[in-house]
Amino acid sequence: MRSGALVAVMVLGAALRLFARDGVSFSPADEAHYLAMARALADGGLGAYPSLVAEHVQNTGLHAYPSPLRYAHVVLAALACKIHGSVSFAALASLSTLAGVVTVGATAALGARVVGLRHGILAALFVAVSPLQLALGRRALQDEVVVAACTLTLLAFISIDRNARVFARHSLVPVALFTASASVFLALKETSMLLYAALVGIAVVDAFRRDGSWGRVALVLAPPALAVLGFLALGGTVAQGVDLVRLSAASANTPYAQAFMAGPPHRVVVDLFLLIPCTMVLAAASLGLSSGRSTSPGWRVAATFAAVTFVAAAGLPKNVRFTAVLEPVLAIAAAHTLLAWSDRATSAAKRLRVIGAGCMLSVTASYGIFTRVFLERGVYDPTTFDLLAALDAVPPAGPVTAGLVTAGTVTMPWLLVLACATAVGVAASVSARSEA
């Protein structure tokens, strides 16, 4: 039964992502830049990478754009173009779509490993219908690929037996998966290094607390070294790598980046509440619950990673795309809350009602938010203002007459559906109590 539910969630996630790709208008800025780098490799092969690096260092007009330090995405994008048969935005978007499907499956596996299979399937459903993940899965950007690589890295790290030798025979599969996924994760985006610090810290603390765990320290130090070696193997030099790091850091001083830096440190948390409200509310409620996860070493890793990511995001440009890697962990916490509530019911039918009501509310809210923000309003970069404006949560710009803002008719049919879904959930809860 549970395997069937997992298959259904995977099919739903893939279908929604394919549907979401219709009518996308791609950006002439970052997405066009990614396409240009992919074209250079698709046409000239890996041998074209040194000239790509040199051009970025020498051409000041490119300094505000993503650098070739993100070589893992450039290589994967060029490969996607080869498979797709054309160097196009559609090919790059296909890579993001595939990464989104991988994220759904990896979330299920991560949840099953951290808490239990039920939690994994429910968390995968939350991610499958997530407006944020659906939006990133239709873009010619690297963000959804980062989410997939990060989730696989967490899964592999947690799967390595902490009480045995890291390089024992039964650990070879998770060790290989961790080394590969973590190396790709670090080579996809420079800020991944900040988030990866959580895993390094956990490995070091464990090494001091227990005997025989220094192998995990060696293991977590290998992917950063491999990421650097990958850049050098493609034809970059140490000096060029330093230049690219310096230019990436300097790009934070541009007016565009400064606009993203503005606002309170918790601005990204507000954005997450706007985009995935059900997941965030349930995840926040999970802070007061302990059953089934407080004793899980895997949950400690996931929670530490989430905390480090939130801290790092406070000092980065406040773009919710930087915190998209958190959603699988937040979805697992949300699933834990919903299942903990359902387990208090006295019968299987009542438990099913609680879970069904929670899923219906989440799916309905997610569909409505995605439709309004990304399909109807065409938001490209989900900044706080753009999200609030798309959801009609701030007064629209327009002429002011007699103290009132004149605006077009606001129609939000999804709110009616959301209200109906909420009513169903309340009715189910009341019914369950009356029968208790």
Taking only the tens place, the pLDDT of each residue in 297-319 is: 778 888 888 888 888 877 777 78
Cβ atoms of 34 and 93 closer than 8 Å:
no
What's the pLDDT score for residue 412? 46
Per the structure block, which two tokens stand in for 261?
């830096």
Residues 6+ apart with CB under 8 A from 94: 80, 84
- The yes-or-no verdict on residue 376 having pLDDT over 80 is yes
Confidence of residue 395 (pLDDT cuts 50, 70, 90): confident
Residues 6+ apart with CB under 8 A from 250: 63
Residue 409's CB: how many other CB atoms inside 10 A?
4
Per the structure block, which two tokens stand in for 60?
């000041």
Cβ atoms of 243 and 57 closer than 8 Å:
yes
Averaged pLDDT for residues 105-109: 95
Cβ atoms of 123 and 279 closer than 8 Å:
no
- The yes-or-no verdict on residue 92 having pLDDT over 60 is yes
Cβ atoms of 29 and 145 closer than 8 Å:
no
Confidence of residue 212 (pLDDT cuts 50, 70, 90): low
Confidence of residue 207 (pLDDT cuts 50, 70, 90): confident
Proportion of the chain above pLDDT 90, given as a percent: 36
Amino acid at 104: V
Distance from C-alpha of 2 to C-alpha of 124, rounded to nearest angstrom: 13
What's the pLDDT score for residue 10? 92
Weakest mean pLDDT among 49-58, 172-181, 397-406: 397-406
Per the structure block, which two tokens stand in for 237?
């030099």
Confidence of residue 90 (pLDDT cuts 50, 70, 90): very high
- 235-246 pLDDT, tens per residue? 878 888 888 888
Tell me the Ramachandran region of residue 210: left when phi exceeds 0, alpha when psi lies from -120 to 50, beta otherwise: beta
Weakest mean pLDDT among 22-26, 314-318, 321-325: 314-318
- The yes-or-no verdict on residue 292 having pLDDT over 70 is no
Give the residue, 95 or 29, on which the prediction is more confident: 95
Cβ atoms of 364 and 418 closer than 8 Å:
yes
Give the residue, 221 or 311, on which the prediction is more confident: 221
What's the pLDDT score for residue 408? 41
Domains in the chain: boundaries: 2-240+262-393+411-428
pTM for the whole thing? 0.86
Averaged pLDDT for residues 394-401: 59
What's the pLDDT score for residue 429? 52
Confidence of residue 322 (pLDDT cuts 50, 70, 90): confident
What's the pLDDT score for residue 167? 61
- The yes-or-no verdict on residue 188 having pLDDT over 60 is yes
Distance from C-alpha of 384 to C-alpha of 377, rounded to nearest angstrom: 14
Distance from C-alpha of 313 to C-alpha of 6, rounded to nearest angstrom: 32
- The yes-or-no verdict on residue 339 having pLDDT over 50 is yes
